[in-house]
Amino acid sequence: MTYIKTPKVFAVGVGPGFYDYITKNVQNIILDADIIIGYEFTLNTIRRLLKNKNVYTITMENQEEIYNKIKNEIGNKKLVVPFTGDVNFSESEVVDRLIQIFGNITIIPGISSIQVAASKAQIALDKTKVITFHVSTPIENKKIELLKGLIDGFNIIALPRPWATQPKKQFMHSEFAFYLKNNGFDTSKMHVIVYESLTMDHEKIFNGKVSDLENKKFSDLSIIIIKQSKLESYYDISKVNIRQRH
């Protein structure tokens, strides 16, 4: 009996940009691959692992063509599609399309800029609404989620949406600030942190008020944080329990 081998297709997270944030597991998967397909920034992050690989650089415009080309030529080869950060966050549109094209794929998580930003800002993700506007689908529901999260007292970690070719669809830092102001928030009193190019040599941090973001430009590779949850430790909880008993 002859068994037909099926291609191995991996979608992997390669960290926020600095090489040391790539997990050893993902490094090994990339080293063992035959074909790599990725965006330029992502490929630059893993450049030292790409020797003797067939590498395809994709853009939003040509990715569909290249994915289908490889599908028809892959045979028994191993394909890896790397994503900056964690493949399970803010990449759903592309990952869903890979599943549609290649069928069953293996997804390997990575360290995301979200995790790094939360650590720098010292906020817990379980007290935080993490919202990505970095999608091509409509984002009105995500905007409402932003408002509700703030009203409910959560921290906010938001990935803005760059769209250079269609500025009206952008939801960058300035649009973020005006949206909150137009929905009744006093943005002059809301503290905001913007992290740009996290973990890289040119990393930048902006501390200010949400109102300061109006008409201000930041990198596409940035994260917006509004920190508003209170510290709440087991010590605080134990004091409440003692008061209740008395």
Half-sphere exposure of 214 (CA within 13 A, CB side): 11
Q: 95 Cβ partners below 8 Å, 6+ apart?
A: 11, 83, 87, 88, 105, 107
Tell me, what's the pLDDT at 115?
A: 95
Tell me, what's the pLDDT at 234?
A: 81
First-to-final CA distance of the chain: 77
Q: Which CATH superfamily is domain 113-226 in?
A: Tetrapyrrole methylase, C-terminal domain (3.30.950.10)
Closest to 211 (Cα-Cα) out of 171, 181, 172:
181
Tell me, what's the pLDDT at 238?
A: 62
Domain boundaries, the chain: 8-108, 113-226
Candidates 3.40.50.20, 3.40.1010.10, 3.90.980.10, 3.40.1120.10; CATH matching 8-108: 3.40.1010.10
Altogether, the residues listed in the chain come to a count of 246
Q: Which residues of the chain have pLDDT under 70?
A: 1-7, 237-246
DSSP E strands in 40-148: the ranges are 54-58, 78-83, 106-108, 128-132
Alpha-carbon distance 200 to 69, whole Å?
33
Tell me, what's the pLDDT at 232?
A: 82
Tell me, what's the pLDDT at 134?
A: 86
Tell me, what's the pLDDT at 7?
A: 61
Tell me, what's the pLDDT at 133?
A: 94
Q: What is the pLDDT of residues 94-145, one digit of tens each?
A: 999 999 999 989 999 999 999 999 999 999 999 999 999 988 888 999 999 9
What is the pTM assigned to this prediction? Answer: 0.84
Tell me, what's the pLDDT at 93?
A: 87
Q: What is the pLDDT of residues 226-236, one digit of tens each?
A: 999 888 888 87
